[in-house]
Amino acid sequence: MINKTKVLIVEDNTELAENLYEFLGEEQYELDLAQGGMTALHLLDTQVYDVVVLDVMIPGLSGFDICRKLRKDMNNQTPIIFMTAKGAIEDKEEGYLSGGDDYLVKPFPLRELALRINALHRRRHHDTQRLCAKSLTFNPGNLEVRLNGGQALALSGLAAHIFEALIRSYPDFVSYDSLSSRLWPERDVDANTLRTHIYMLRKQLQDAYGHSLIKTLHGRGYILTPPDVDQAES
């Protein structure tokens, strides 16, 4: 079975989106489409992509705003290719400063876009480094958790975002507000919603390793607790 590169295309021009789907769909890609900024953020909050192809002038938020939110608010480092008619050097500068990895000015050969997607995907796969907290490791590339180098637990969606936030902050805790704004940057959510997702992640970890690995610091937030550090749990 061929492992396909998962790509999110953010483009409100229906004709161009159809052309991209027709061309890239014949290659080694799995494609999702968002035609507005809010839809794009929702997909990026709940799905994992190898590369994002991002138009700049789209309904809702601009492509530059989406990129900034991904990098600063969601700590999401998925490679981003801007594709836009805005070809001035000032526009390109804003694109790269907002956190973009590549910039493609319309019109362009579809084959060139495919080549750039492939290059970014290879670079990310090569550069991916494991995050460690004592005996725990997390690979941001394939979203796998391992304890003492043993069995891999593959996370997805919000569970992966939560675990990555916790292991990046270790040995410090992550506050309730910080975690909520990372998971739901555009809206306020009930505290019970976050607790439910923490509970489900704990259950996955408990079932895989016999330890829930996440401790509640009442009134403050959550902290990762590798089993060789602290077995206590609230």
pLDDT in tens, the chain (234 residues): 456 888 999 999 999 998 998 888 766 888 999 998 899 998 988 888 889 999 999 988 899 999 998 888 877 778 999 999 999 999 999 999 998 999 999 999 999 999 999 988 887 665 456 788 988 999 887 788 998 878 889 888 889 889 999 998 999 999 998 888 888 876 777 788 899 999 999 999 999 999 999 999 998 999 999 986 444 333
| Encoded amino acid at 180, one letter | S
If we measure between CA atoms, which residue out of 160, 127, 168 comes closest to residue 143? Answer: 160
Compute the C-alpha angle 188/58/180, nearest 5°: 15
Distance CA 78, CA 168 (A): 16
Fold designation for 131-224: Arc Repressor Mutant, subunit A (1.10.10)
Residue span(s) of the chain under CATH 3.40.50.2300 come to 5-127
Cis peptide before 227 (omega within 30 of 0): no
pTM for the full model? 0.57
First vs last C-alpha separation in the chain: 43
CA distance 46 to 182: 12
Residue 166's nearest CA partner among 153, 149, 182, 152 is: 182
Per DSSP, 6 falls in state E
User: Tell me: domain 5-127, CATH 3.40.140.10, correct?
Assistant: no
Distance of CA 128 to the CA centre of its chain: 13
Q: Which tokens hold the place of 91?
A: 């526009």
Residues forming CATH 1.10.10.10 domain(s) in the chain:
131-224
Least Cα distance to 52 among 19, 101, 93, 97 occurs for 101
If 0-12 CB within 10 Å is exposed, 13-18 middle and 19+ buried, where does residue 84 land?
Answer: buried
Residue 120 has a pLDDT of 87
With tokens 């403050």, the residue in question is: 220
